[in-house]
Amino acid sequence: MKIKQSHIQDTNSKSLQSHEESFDFLADKLNNKGVNVNNLIAKLKEFQVAIPSWALGAGGTRFGRFSFYGEPSSLEQKLEDIGLLNILTQTAGAISLHIPWDIPEDYNTIKELANSLDIKFDAVNSNTFQDQKKSKESYKYGSLSNTSEAVRQQAIQHNIDVINIGKKLGSKSLTVWLADGSCFPGQNNFQTAFQNTQDSLKSIYKELPNDWKMLIEYKPFEPNFYSTVIQDWGTSFMLADECGDRAFSLVDLGHHLPNSNIEQIVSILMLKGKLGGFHFNDSKYGDDDLTVGCIKPYALFLIFNELVYGMENNTRNPDLAWMIDASHNIKDPIEDLIQSLEAIQEAYAKALLVDQNELKMAQNKNDVVACQEILQNAYRTDVRPLIQQARFISGGAINPLQAYRLLNIREELIKERGRHSVATGL
């Protein structure tokens, strides 16, 4: 299914006047405060988030999975869905593949389709947390950390295969997330598991092309429920630091124990030049993979405030990989992703309104009240007209969700794909 520009303009005509009024009002207010609105809009336009290939179908849990019909059942259809998302939002210009869930059958066809949809290939993800039918060794007791050399070698080779798939597509980074760990005290020797993981990651790192990055994702628990080898940012940092200059930590927002101060983790990883990127989502309890900003929008703003400061001051930290990692159990994935992209852009735009110099001066004077006022004045600013303007001048929908529904896109996809097409992924 393709959306024509004229379709977008038709839907925009319904909200153009009210958009222009609210944008002009806000732009005047911000310009009077010395904010360079054009500069801010430019930053929002260039801000592109990678969409996970594994989150375009109905997600589920061990308790069940409820389809919503018209799911993409091939990589081509997943690219088409991201194409729809990108036309509407103008901020979903990349895909992150998970291997082997989404191995291209024909690389040229896939590259041409992605190109025609203006979608780039962001990080490729390896998968050593599931056994493949034809695989000789099992990852039941771990992969890169496994006590068995044969299992570790199989996992190392899989990561090298994933790099080679990414090279054919133009990807420039490998994301490694390990489920490795234990469910019972005494099951693992923590030091052996860590050392095996370190040595295995180094073997993979040696095969990384010179212009590639390795992103090491940490997670405190699940699917193991007593220990996880790469459990937290400190462990990921140590492993990345030991591997080399092109290995970094990847922060999945859902991979933190309750009340963790994620913005402080982000700040220190940037200071050390070891923050590689994000998996954006939100959560109330565990790794819930919910819509970004649906539970803790202020926490997301505080994270972006540290990112804006870090992007200005920590120049040795590389450009960050912005990716969503969510699972859609009850929402239409495209609507869920539209809401997530909006929440990410909103947090970024609000953080760009923080006067970092004014904040630094208040911090140096320990004027605690002023520090909070500076942050919350920015947070309390309704920045939606700025995001709408960035989308509108890029050819997108002023209100993507409204456009998605007005254009009956889900119904059209069901007509094309039928009610029982199922997507690969989680």
252 lines the binding site for ligand LRH (CB under 6 A) = yes
How far is the C-alpha of 155 from the C-alpha of 142, rounded, in Å?
Answer: 9
Binding at 426: pick from Mn ion, ligand LRH, none (beta carbon under 5-8 Å per type): ligand LRH
54 vs 309, beta carbon nearer ligand LRH: 54
80, 289, 325, 342: which one binds Mn ion (CB under 5 A): 325
Q: CA dihedral in degrees (143, 422, 283, 44; nearest 10)? A: 100
User: Binding string, 265-304, against ligand LRH, x = CB under 6 A?
Assistant: --------------x-------x-----------------
Binding at 219: pick from Mn ion, ligand LRH, none (beta carbon under 5-8 Å per type): ligand LRH
54, 68, 280, 322: which one binds ligand LRH (CB under 6 A): 54
Q: Is there a contact between 198 and 210 (Cβ–Cβ < 8 Å)?
A: no
How far is the C-alpha of 46 from the C-alpha of 299, rounded, in Å?
Answer: 23
Instruction: Please give the structure tokens belonging to residue 142.
Output: 């771990």
User: Binding string, 391-410, against ligand LRH, x = CB under 6 A?
Assistant: --------------------
252 lines the binding site for Mn ion (CB under 5 A) = yes
Q: Measured from the CB of residue 339, what is the shortest distance to ligand LRH in angstroms?
A: 19
Q: Measured from the CB of residue 166, what is the shortest distance to Mn ion in angstroms?
A: 17
Q: Measured from the CB of residue 216, what is the shortest distance to ligand LRH in angstroms?
A: 11
CA angle 133, 69, 415 (to 5 degrees): 120
Q: What are phi and psi of 395, to 5 degrees?
A: 95, 10
204 vs 407, beta carbon nearer ligand LRH: 204
Tell me whether strands 213-217 and 247-252 are parallel, antiparallel or unpaired: parallel
Q: Measured from the CB of residue 258, what is the shortest distance to Mn ion in angstroms?
A: 18
89 vs 424, beta carbon nearer ligand LRH: 424
Which region, judged by CB under 5 A, interacts with Mn ion, from 47-55, 155-163, 246-254, 332-340?
246-254
Q: Is there a contact between 279 and 324 (Cβ–Cβ < 8 Å)?
A: yes
Instruction: Please give the structure tokens belonging to residue 340.
Output: 């997530």
Q: Is there a contact between 138 and 151 (Cβ–Cβ < 8 Å)?
A: yes
Q: Is there a contact between 90 and 45 (Cβ–Cβ < 8 Å)?
A: yes
SS3 71: coil
53, 90, 125, 314: which one binds ligand LRH (CB under 6 A): 125
Q: 14: phi > 0 → left, psi -120 to 50 → alpha, else beta; which?
A: alpha
Q: Measured from the CB of residue 294, what is the shortest distance to ligand LRH in angstroms?
A: 17
How far is the C-alpha of 197 from the C-alpha of 239, rounded, in Å?
Answer: 8
279 lines the binding site for Mn ion (CB under 5 A) = yes
69 vs 221, beta carbon nearer Mn ion: 221
Q: Measured from the CB of residue 349, what is the shortest distance to Mn ion in angstroms?
A: 24
Q: Measured from the CB of residue 198, what is the shortest distance to ligand LRH in angstroms?
A: 20
Helix 333-352 / helix 37-46 crossing angle, nearest 10 deg: 140
SS3 letters for 149-179? Answer: HHHHHHHHHHHHHHHHHHHHHCCCEEEEECC
How far is the C-alpha of 390 from the C-alpha of 91, rounded, in Å?
Answer: 10
How far is the C-alpha of 420 from the C-alpha of 91, rounded, in Å?
Answer: 29
Tokens 């520009």 label which residue? 5
Q: Measured from the CB of residue 252, what is the shortest distance to Mn ion in angstroms?
A: 4
Binding at 54: pick from Mn ion, ligand LRH, none (beta carbon under 5-8 Å per type): ligand LRH
> Which one, of 334, 411, 404, 414, lies nearest residue 70 by Cα?
414
306 lines the binding site for Mn ion (CB under 5 A) = no
Positive or negative: CA dihedral 24, 21, 300, 337? negative
User: Binding string, 160-189, against ligand LRH, x = CB under 6 A?
Assistant: -----------------x------------
Total binding residues toward ligand LRH, as defined by CB under 6 A: 10
How far is the C-alpha of 231 from the C-alpha of 408, rounded, in Å?
Answer: 43
256 lines the binding site for ligand LRH (CB under 6 A) = no
219 lines the binding site for Mn ion (CB under 5 A) = no
101 lines the binding site for ligand LRH (CB under 6 A) = no
- The residues that touch Mn ion, with contacts defined as CB under 5 A, are 252, 279, 325
- The residues that touch ligand LRH, with contacts defined as CB under 6 A, are 54, 125, 177, 217, 219, 252, 279, 287, 325, 426
